[in-house]
Structure 1
Amino acid sequence: MIENSTQLVEYAEALAGGTGPVAVDAERASGYRYGQRAYLVQMRRNGSGTGLIDPVPLPDLSVIQTAIADEEWVLHAANQDLPCLAEIGLTPGRIFDTELAARLAGLPRVGLGAVVESLLGFSLQKGHSAADWSTRPLPEEWLVYAALDVEVLVDLRDALAAILEDQGKSDWARQEFEAILAAGPPPPKSDPWRRTSGVHGLRSRRQLGMLQSLWQARDDMARRRDVAPGRVLPDSAMVSAVQADPVNEGALLELPVFRGRANRKLVATWFNALARGKAVPEAELPLHSKPGEGPPPVNRWSDRDPAAATRLQAARAGLAEISEKHAVPVENILSPDLVRRIMWSPPEPRDAATVTEALRAGGAREWQVGLTVEVLTDAVNRA
């Protein structure tokens, strides 16, 4: 464990003196704390040993960044960890994502434990991935679990790299890894309240306005308390409250989730939030879908644009054949959202050049463009 600045400097020196790639992982407290900050960072490098860094007392990890900035970092499902690592000043210049590599290699299961067992023959101790990693002190068995996640990550990287080389996919992987780094941390989501579970059961714009107001009240409280929003008030309770449209605080307390002691104390907060949503002028109420959000749900295509539905069906069939031929999941062959956008609004003229341009503009990598442009050009000309 690395919990003070002296230990941190010593481990940074050890990392700098090691050889080969650096295995990196992070543990968060999703479901317990507000946000996605890292509460433990695990690293391992040949010749350096394993370090479990506590970023709570050590928010400045620049000495670690300096030690390994130019090295390849090996992560499993890098998109999950890179944002929280960036928050504490850790940003790689090169990565190898073992989860993404396993997908490109055609492995049937791509979780860390499954890939390690398949390629290296080891069984990883699991069971604490959903733990509250903000707990202090961290239990010994949790630390063992955390250390195991980087113990064989570099060996796994080497095994996957060999498979990709044999399959002629090394350049595909390189492009994917570079794209992850080029994308940077995801921007804040616009209208995050729309991701509330059950929101599609709300039929009117007035109900959406009430949900938006209630969601904001919950989020403000969760941020102040540093608690996961779902622990303050479940999504299902918010949707139920909007649908019930209680006339007063007493009526709100009649709903099952609001009968608990914690929510009885907060009933005025929740009822006032609903009231604010009901008072929003009609013209300012949120729409059912955001302007510029993209194509409608696919199940509505046949009614709204049968030709587009035909194009999408052809595109999906062609991409499925490519997926099977190369043993790569179809969602990794090409982003499903990008496919839908191109099939809903095809580029003009509908030829390979404009489809290629649309693919690149949508973030497709060159290996994806090369594999799919012919299939998609045929599809956009189906109707």
Structure 2
Amino acid sequence: MIQTSQGLAEYLDNCQGDFRGLDTEADSLHRYHEKLCLLQFTDGENHALIDPLAIEDLSPLTKFLETASIWMHGADYDIVMMRRDLEVVPPVIWDTQIAARLLGVRQFGYANLVQHYLDIELSKASQKADWSQRPLTEKMEQYAINDVRYLKPMAEIMIASLKEKGRYEWFVESCDNAREKVLERPQSKEDPWRISGSGKMNPKGLAYLRALWYWRDTEAAEWDRPSFMVCGNKQLIAWVNQVLKGQTPELPKHFRSQRRKNFFKAITEVQELPDNKLPQRKKAGPKRIKDDGFDDRVNALMEKRDAVAAELDIDSSLIIARAVIESLAANEVEPAEVLMKWQVELLGL
């Protein structure tokens, strides 16, 4: 466990070879204000746990990552965490999950891949642990180190297989594309209260949902627990529907009195809102114009995709998603705007 800036600098300076692997752990399952709690690092031979909660100056790591090529698994969330908490994302990220999918592996979780490629069974006992706790238990340390311990041997097998199958260039392009897509996402979501199930609600229902969403968010923040620990999204929708029917929502018995009071206060405030203050449904985009050949073009491209996927023995959605097929069939986009080069070539577009 590295807990000082000096120790971090010495470790990074002494890394051997050109392989670098990284994983991260956060406390999102246990805290409202989630934070980066642990980084696991490896050069393929020497593995280390880096403690960002103890190290005041992480600049040796951030400077290193500015120019690094890093191997990770399922890097999407890790990229989000690094951008937010470290303010740096490595320029090159090789992802074993992407490699596995391009090789036709259907179960591509990290433990699945370690079992598949190395015949080693990993424990999942600390998967939902609170990584902000200190000291870490021996079991948690072992779990964390295992998340990078096997990256190098798996990567070597995968690269050899990708090159043998002529898919290595696909892998390079796919990793770069995946990294860019994460970085293109806005860091904060507009109207986060517009959750699944809200699309058909009238303005009054949307107002209740918005109020209860922010009620839950405030409760979770004050408690410093994830919002799902207050209640789930489905429960919010159910309460809104009850209120719209003139019913009084029945709250869980474990809710403290102040939480109940705040809940009904939020509902009352909505009841007093004038119509011009109610949120509106989101306007649908322009309706897709389907000419007589639209369905034929969709079906032809679907058949082409499925045939290519079957021949390559990979998931067809890796080649092209149905939504993209429909956009192409409607002439709304050009192939190069929505597909990678290798996908365009496979589909003959």
> What's the TM-score, normalizing by structure 2?
0.87
Partner of 2:74: 77
Select the residue among 337, 341, 359 that pairs with 2:335: 359
Distance 1:115 1:189 in 2: 33
Q: Which secondary structure state, in structure 2, belongs to the residue aligned with residue 129 of structure 1?
A: coil
Partner of 1:276: 269
The structure with the greater share of residues assigned to helix is 1
Matched letter for residue 47 of structure 2: T
Partner of 1:316: 302
Matches within 5 A, 1:95-244: 95-185=93-183, 186-187=185-186, 188-196=188-196, 198-199=197-198, 203-244=201-242
Distance 1:360 1:133 in 2: 42
Partner of 1:8: 8
Matched letter for residue 53 of structure 2: V
Distance 2:273 2:298 in 1: 39
95-104 vs 227-236, greater mean Cα deviation: 227-236
User: Residues 242 and 274 of structure 1 are in contact (CA less than 8 Å); yes or no, is this contact kept in structure 2?
Assistant: no
177-186 vs 323-332, greater mean Cα deviation: 177-186
User: Residues 251 and 260 of structure 2 are in contact (CA less than 8 Å); yes or no, is this contact kept in structure 1?
Assistant: no
Matched letter for residue 63 of structure 2: T
Distance 2:274 2:323 in 1: 34
**CA gap 1:346/1:246 in 2 versus in 1, 3 angstroms:** closer
Matched letter for residue 266 of structure 1: R
Partner of 1:352: none
**CA gap 1:93/1:306 in 2 versus in 1, 3 angstroms:** same
Partner of 2:315: 329
- Report the CA distance between 1:246 and its aligned residue: 8.0
Provide the alpha-carbon RMSD of the alignment.
Answer: 3.0
Distance 1:373 1:216 in 2: 49
Partner of 1:94: 92
User: Residues 13 and 67 of structure 1 are in contact (CA less than 8 Å); yes or no, is this contact kept in structure 2?
Assistant: no
User: Residues 219 and 259 of structure 2 are in contact (CA less than 8 Å); yes or no, is this contact kept in structure 1?
Assistant: no
Select the residue among 49, 62, 67 that pairs with 1:65: 62
Gaps of 5+ in 2: none
Gaps of 5+ in 1: 348-354, 375-383
**How many pairs were matched up?**
346
- Report the CA distance between 1:365 and its aligned residue: 1.0
> What's the TM-score, normalizing by structure 1?
0.80
User: Residues 26 and 38 of structure 1 are in contact (CA less than 8 Å); yes or no, is this contact kept in structure 2?
Assistant: yes
Q: Which secondary structure state, in structure 2, belongs to the residue aligned with residue 156 of structure 1?
A: helix
- Report the CA distance between 1:315 and its aligned residue: 3.5
Matched letter for residue 271 of structure 1: F
- Report the CA distance between 1:123 and its aligned residue: 1.8
User: Residues 104 and 173 of structure 1 are in contact (CA less than 8 Å); yes or no, is this contact kept in structure 2?
Assistant: yes
Distance 2:311 2:34 in 1: 38
Matched letter for residue 331 of structure 2: P
**CA gap 1:295/1:93 in 2 versus in 1, 3 angstroms:** farther
User: Residues 44 and 151 of structure 2 are in contact (CA less than 8 Å); yes or no, is this contact kept in structure 1?
Assistant: no
**CA gap 1:45/1:315 in 2 versus in 1, 3 angstroms:** same
- Report the CA distance between 1:320 and its aligned residue: 1.8
- Report the CA distance between 1:189 and its aligned residue: 2.5
